[in-house]
Amino acid sequence: MAIDIGQFVQTFFDESLEGLDIMEAGLLALPPGAADLEKINTIFRAAHSIKGGSGTFGFSEVTNFTHAMETLLDKMREGRLVVTSEAVNTLLESVDCLREMLVSLREQAAIDETQAENLRARLLRLLEQKETATSQATKAEKPSAPSPPPPSPETTDWRIEFLPHAQLMHSGNDPVRIFRELSTLGKLAVRADYHRLPRLADMNPEDCYLSWELELRGDASREAVAEVFAWVEDECDLRIEPLAGPAAPETQASTPSAAPETQASSEETHQGELVLERRKSNDRRKGDRRASAAADSGSIRVNIDKVDAVINLVGELVTTQSMLSALGTDFEMNRLDKLHEALDQLDRNTRDLQEHVMRIRMLPVSSVFSRFARIVHDVGGKLGKQVELIINGEQTEIDKTVIEKIGDPLVHLVRNSLDHGLEPPEERIQQGKPETGNIMLDAYHKSGSIFIEVGDDGRGLDRDALLRKGLENGLLKPGEDYSDEQIYELIFHPGLSTAKQISDVSGRGVGMDVVRRNIQDVGGNIQIASERGRGTKITICLPLTLAILDGQLVTIGQDCYIIPLLSIIESVQARNEMVNRVAGKNEVLRFRGEHLPILRLYELFGAQGAQTDLEKGLLVVVEADGRQVGLFVDDLLGQQQISIKSLEKNFRRVPGVAGATILGDGRVGLILDISGLIRINHAI
């Protein structure tokens, strides 16, 4: 059996990135000056796991870097170092740096070592400063003490019995790494017991047959020693006891132990310092890295309850199936009612199952929301604004794919609110508002969709400025009356920013159009409401899932196609006199004072036996990207929920087709890509 380390590496990345989120949340909640032991412990543990994991997989850059963070946190935990805002900020920057390192490693890209080294130096400087401060204070307290210091009641020397289970090394754990880490805590003496080691031929090369007895002399606390083994605590028997007293010697009568004790001092462990290869540091925005950190992992963690629910439903489905089989074996007409009943049950089971399976892909929106605490902290600080972030409904669940797509747009909206929405404190006071501004994030389900709101209680949109800009750019016509909504719409227009100053936070006029496009890409839409002086609220409406859509079935010739219900405006029956030809080729329908391009789908798809007379078929008016087109089809069938299958994966990409589905009668139905069709129509 050969162990594939790769399978654990992905888990390491997933867990480490989660750990970083925990660290970040903990750091943000850590008030300067206060020693909240529990919070510091949580942060420390996360850092420690990352260090342990990175050591196992040989990411020494990460190990070295995390080690510095961990030491700082350890000192904070022990109360030997005061939590200052400088320390918190440096640690927060370190979290970012670590996140970048992990993402780079995962993508097998170059690590920005300059940045890591700078930060590491800053962490060490923080440590040194405080250390000298502490040691000077100690000196002052105890002037010229020639006698050895009295033994501390808590920390002594430790005797550690480490008996790994056979499978300890299967998950990549390496006692070499563990002992190396232990040796950084003091003087380590190791005695290996290898009496269980079998003959070479009888060995499973990945099992662990050795056990150890270690003695650690130094000033390490029991917790510090236990932390070293935290990574393997479930895969070994471990006993840590103080060495000070006469430790009961274990009887090892006939065990061949390594005779002399071998020692490894802490200095030795630093001999493998990295030779840093300076690489050009690439300027990458942290937000991007974070987004990709969250997005690219191809796995999700699913609550066991959700899995159990699916298993239960499958159980019910099996029951229904056996009921139907029993009915089918010797069916008589008088049992028709029973059959109907069973079929109803099957229908119910299937729907429930589908719903629950979909739920597995759903993640709480908190995974996106959680990053905003940091953004508000950083950007608010940078802009000198006092901001409170109010989050509601973070447990609302959304499809994983949707979550991945909305992260960046939401960041943009929050930054906008921070930068342009909220006024500086003095301006707020002038206007009789509380000094601290609010940013509100809310998520909720409503009528089969998810709504996410980003709001602020800032200055609101400047209607007049927008109107002026709109007129200048020719987007609005002078002399016409426009509603607020129409004017606010302008902020989604590319290149239009009313920000007086361009800051590095926002205001370059690229963005809101991209935000809208991203939201539309996942089948959502975005609305804006604003009141001058009171604030702005942006509401994003998203579909529950991307795996199922509500579709309108239409026929073209012998085939059945599906049009996403969301894109359909209406269906009309054309009369020949309403149809004009533009440039002798393209047909348009004069309809409600507009000219609607007609796209004959049977021509596009080469359908046989389709209706070619416009008067005898139907035009389905659809809209995408703000443009409309009339799709000519033979007839409308019913509407139903369609489970989307990838056509690309099973066949190949077809222009104008978004995917496929299996219809009730077993045929394949193609799902039309409305944006694509409109582009095709434009190109003709």
Partner 1 sequence: MATIECQAEWDIAAASTLHQQLLSALQTGEPLEIDGQAVRKIHAAVLQLFLSLTNEAQSLGLPVRWRNPSPALVESARLLGLADPLGLGEADSV
Neighbours of 460 (CB within 10 A): 17
The identity of residue 336, as a single letter, is L
DSSP assignment, residue 172? T
DSSP assignment, residue 261? P
Q: Where does this chain bind partner 1 (CB under 8 A)?
A: 1-5, 58, 169-170, 172, 174-176, 179-180, 183, 188, 190-192, 194, 197-201, 203, 205-206, 208-210, 212, 256, 258-264, 268, 271-272
Instruction: Quote the CA–CA distance of 370 and 27 in Å, as a whole number.
Output: 13
Instruction: Quote the CA–CA distance of 240 and 226 in Å, as a whole number.
Output: 8
Q: In the structure encoding, which two tokens stand for residue 311, read together?
A: 């298993």
563 CB-near residues (< 8 Å, 6+ apart): 551, 552, 554, 620, 622, 631, 672, 674
Phi and psi dihedrals of 449, rounded to 5? -130, 165
Phi-psi region of 204 (alpha: psi -120 to 50; beta: other; left: phi over 0): beta
Coil, helix or strand for 304? Answer: helix
Q: How far is the CB of 193 from partner 1 (least distance, A)?
A: 9
CB nearer to partner 1: pick between 151 and 198? 198
DSSP notation for 489-546: GGGGSTT----SS--SSS-SS-SHHHHHHHHHHTT-EEEEEEETTTEEEEEEEEES-S
Phi and psi dihedrals of 80, rounded to 5? -85, -5
CB nearer to partner 1: pick between 213 and 457? 213
- Residue 574: name the closest of 552, 557, 559, 596 by CA: 596
Residues 130 and 84: beta-carbon distance below 8 Å:
no
574 CB-near residues (< 8 Å, 6+ apart): 589, 598, 614, 615, 619, 630
Q: In the structure encoding, which two tokens stand for residue 593, read together?
A: 């004072």
Q: How far is the CB of 202 from partner 1 (least distance, A)?
A: 9
Give the per-residue SS3 of 554-605: EEECCEEEEEEHHHEEEEECCCHHHEEEECCCEEEEEECCEEEEEEEHHHHH
Coil, helix or strand for 242? Answer: strand
Q: How far is the CB of 105 from partner 1 (least distance, A)?
A: 16
- Residue 224: name the closest of 184, 264, 260 by CA: 184
Antiparallel, parallel or unpaired: β 618-624 and 525-531: unpaired
CB nearer to partner 1: pick between 140 and 275? 275
Q: How far is the CB of 279 from partner 1 (least distance, A)?
A: 21
Residue with tokens 């005898």: 616
Residues 15 and 56: beta-carbon distance below 8 Å:
no
H/E stretch holding 128 = helix 113-141
Residues 413 and 538: beta-carbon distance below 8 Å:
yes
H/E stretch holding 216 = strand 211-218
Q: How far is the CB of 181 from partner 1 (least distance, A)?
A: 10
Instruction: Quote the CA–CA distance of 109 and 121 in Å, as a whole number.
Output: 23
Residue with tokens 């662990």: 208
Q: How far is the CB of 168 from partner 1 (least distance, A)?
A: 9
Instruction: Quote the CA–CA distance of 392 and 394 in Å, as a whole number.
Output: 6
Residues 376 and 418: beta-carbon distance below 8 Å:
yes
Instruction: Quote the CA–CA distance of 184 and 123 in Å, as a whole number.
Output: 18
